[in-house]
A and B are shown apart, each in its own frame.
Chain A
Amino acid sequence: MAESTTGTVLVLGAGSAMARGIAAAFASHGHALYLAGRDLEELERIASDLRVRTGVDVDFGQFDALDTQSHAGFVQAVLAEVGALAGVVWAVGYMPAQEQALADFGEVQRIIDTNFTAAVSMLDVCSAHLEKESGGFLAVISSVAGDRGRQSNYYYGSAKGALTLYLQGLRNRLHSSGVRVLTIKPGFVDTAMTWGLPGLFLVASPEQVGRAVVRAVQRRRDVLYVPWFWRYIMLIIRHIPERVFKRLKL
C-alpha cells in the first residue's frame, strides 16, 4: 500500500525541536497532525504555527509519557477526535548528564522509564491499533548511542539500545500486517539536548531530520541514520573488538 498523504499523524513528545521538525515535514506533505506532550501552552503555540505555515488541521492534547496507565485511554481519546491514524511518531526522550545518573539511581530509573518503558507501553497500544487497521507506520526516535555502550553515556545508551531491539522485534511481528516500523537513529542534531555540549561536529538541523524521516517513511525504510554518514561511523564503532574498545575514552 502506498503511503497515503491523508490521515492524521500522532506526534508523541511534540514539544521538542526534533519533533517540531518532523511534524512540520509531515504537515508540508498534507498530513493532519495531533501533537501530544506535557506543556500545553507550548503545544498550542506549535499547533498554531503549523496551521498558519502549512494550512493543515492540527489538534493537540496533554500526554504524560511516564504515566503508562494512561496510555491506552489517551490513544482512544485521540482516535475519537481524529478518526483514523496514518501513523505515529515517538519523539519522547530524556538525556541528563551521565554524572548526574552515576550519583543518583533515581535519575537512572527516569532514563530507563522515559526512554524504554514508556516507549514500549505506548508503542504496544499504537501498534495494536494499527495492526487492526492493517496499515500505517510507527516512526520512533532511538539513538546512535544505543548502538554501543560507551563510558560517557551508557545509561541513556542502554535504554535506547533496548528500544532499538524492541523495535526490531516489533517490526518482525508486524511485517505481515502491513504496519511499518522505522527506527530513527539521530547522530548530532541541533536541539536543546545538544546545545552547549563540547565536541559536536556536522550537526543536522531539526528541519533536515524531519525531511529525512518523511522520506524514510515513504520509502518504507527500517532504519534511518540521520545525518546519513552516522551509519558508517557507527558501523566502525560497532566493529571495534571489545578488548580494544574497553581501553578507549569514548
Chain B
Amino acid sequence: MRSRRMSLSGWGRFPVQECEVWRPERYHDLMLREGAMTLRGQGRSYGDAALNENGNVVLNARVNRFIEFSPDTGLLRTEPGVTLEEIVSVCLPHGWFLPVTPGTKYVSIGGCVAADVHGKNHFRDGSFGAAVQAFELLTADGARLSCTRDNNSELFFATLGGMGLTGVIGEVTLQLRRVESAWMKVRQKKSPDLERVFADLADGDPEDEYRVAWIDCLARGRHLGRSVTMSARHARMDDLSGTRRGQPLVVAPRRKRTLPFNFPGWALNSLSIGVFNHLYYAREGARGGPSVSDYDRYFYPLDAIAHWNRMYGKRGFVQYQCVLPSDTAFDGMREILERLSRSRRPSFLAVLKRLGEESGGLLSFPMPGYTLALDLPLRGRGLLPLLDELDRIVIEKGGRVYLAKDARLSAEAFRHMYPRLDDWLAIKGRIDPDNRFTSSLARRLGLEPPHG
C-alpha cells in the first residue's frame, strides 16, 4: 500500500495540517502494520479529530461494504466506511430509517460511533450509541474484538464517543427504526424569547419525535433568545396525500448545487446576518399549520449545497457546541447569548436542542440538558479568547464542549468538562499502551495513555 502526503483539514477548514494519508481497499488493511495512526471517515468532524499532523491518517472511505441487512428486523451490519446516505438509500425503500442522525448524511457509520453523534430526537431516543448493538474493534495488538454492552463492555463504552482512540472501529451493527414513509410532518412556531424557547423545547406535543430551535443570536434585550422552534415526526400513511400514499417510501432526488468558490471575508458580517435572521424569524415563524416535507430536506438542508463550508471564506470557521445540564442551562445559555450578542460576532447558524439521557460512553458529549451549537467565522483577533470565555461559563455551569466540533479547547478546560476522563485513560493505557491510536485532537487534549 502506498501513501500520499496531503494537506488536510476538518469540515471547518481550521486547522490545516500536513498528513501522510493511506487509503486501504480491504477490511484487514484498515489497521496499519506499523506506526501511530488516526482513522478518518468522511472528514466531517469540524476540527482536528481526524487529523494527525506529520503522521499517518487512514481513510475508511473504500472499506464500505454492507455485510448484512434484514428487511424484517431492521438489523444492519456494515463496514465502518459506509455513509448514512448509503444506509438511507438502501434501507429506506424497505421502510427502515436511521434511528439517530446528525445534520449531514455524508458521514461514515464508524465516525458516528467514534463521536457518539446525536440528532434532533436526543431528548427521547438518545444518541447514536443507543442504537448500536455491537461493533468490532481492531486493537493495537492485532486482535479483532467484538464489543457489545455485555461483551467487552468496558471497551464498548470507552470507544463510544472515544474519538477513534481505542482502536479501529470495524464492522458496526445498528438497529434501524421502522417508518411508514419517507416524509416528515413538521410544525414551526415563533418562540419570542429565551424563556419561551426553553419551555417549547421541554414540553411540546408528546407526539413530537424531533425538536430543535433556530436562534437569532443577534437579538438582544427582551428579544434575547428569540427563536423559531421546529417540531416533527415521521409522517404516517394518513398524513400523506393520495399521490404520495401510492409510493410512500420514495422521494425524488434533490438537485445538488455547489458553492464554487470561497466567499470573501466580508460577506458574512453582523449586518448581513442580522438581515437574514430578521427575515428568517418573520417568515419561518409565521408559517401556520403543519406541513409535510421529505426526509432529505428536513434532516439535511445543507447537504443540498456541496462545499457549503466555503461560505465562511478561506480561513474557515469554528463550530462551538456546548451542553449545559438542565438545572443551570437557562442561566448559562442566557449568559452565553448575551456575551455573544455583545461581542457582535454573529453566528450564522445557532441551534438549540434539548438532550436526554447519557449513553454511557465515557467521553460522549450528550447529557440531560440543553445544547447550543454556533458557527463562528474565523476572522480578526478575539474569537479564540471569546470562546475561552464561553468555556469558563460552560465549566462553571457543569457543562461540556463537543469534541467532534472542537478545534481549540485547552487540555485543562477539557479535563474539567469530562469527569470520567481518568476512567477512560486507564482503559486507553491497557488497550493501547504504546499509543498507536492518536490524533491532533488527542495530543492537544491529553488523550494519551498515562505511561505512554
Contact = CB atoms under 8 A, between A and B. Distances in A.
A167 to B, nearest CB: 26
Of listed A41, A45, A195, residue having the most chain B CB within 10 A: A195
Interface string A30-57: 0000000001011001101100110000
B267 interface: no
Interface in B29-48: none
Given A42-B26, A42-B27, A49 B66 contact: yes
A69 to B, nearest CB: 27
A92 to B, nearest CB: 15
Contacts of B65: 45-46, 48-49
Nearest to B65: A49
Interface residues of A, number: 17
Contacts of A191: 25
A66 interface: no
A192 interface: yes
Contacts of A45: 27, 65, 67, 79
A248 interface: no
B66 A52 contact: yes
Contacts of A195: 2, 4, 23
B4 A52 contact: no
A30 B65 CA distance: 19
A53 B3 contact: no
- Size category of the B interface is 10 to 19
A46 B27 CA distance: 11
Interface in B78-106: 79, 90
Given A42-B26, A52-B90, A192-B25, A197 B2 contact: yes
B32 to A, nearest CB: 14
A48 B27 contact: no
Contact of B67 (A42, A49, A192, A197): A49
Contacts of B2: 192, 195-197
B69 A52 contact: yes
A15 B63 CA distance: 12
A17 interface: yes
Contacts of B3: 196
Contacts of B79: 45
Nearest to B171: A45
A37 B28 CA distance: 16
Contact of A48 (B1, B4, B68): B68
Interface string B394-422: 00000000000000000000000000000
Most buried by B among A16, A17, A41, A48: A48
B178 interface: no
Contacts of A49: 64-67
A52 B27 CA distance: 18
A16 B25 CA distance: 8
Nearest to B2: A196
B92 to A, nearest CB: 13
Given A49-B66, A52-B66, A53-B66, A192 B1 contact: yes
Contacts of A196: 2-4
A48 B66 contact: yes
A191 B26 CA distance: 12
A51 to B, nearest CB: 8
B26 A48 contact: no
B245 interface: no
Most chain A beta carbons < 10 A, residue from B1, B66, B69: B66
B62 interface: yes
A101 B70 CA distance: 48
Interface of B: 1-4, 23, 25-28, 62, 64-69, 79, 90
14 contacts: A17-B25, A39-B26, A42-B26, A45-B27, A45-B65, A49-B65, A52-B66, A52-B69, A52-B90, A53-B66, A191-B25, A195-B2, A195-B4, A195-B23
Closest 3 CB pairs of A and B: A196-B2, A49-B65, A52-B66
Given A48-B67, A53-B90, A191-B25, 7 more contacts: A15-B26, A39-B26, A42-B27, A45-B27, A192-B25, A195-B23, A197-B2
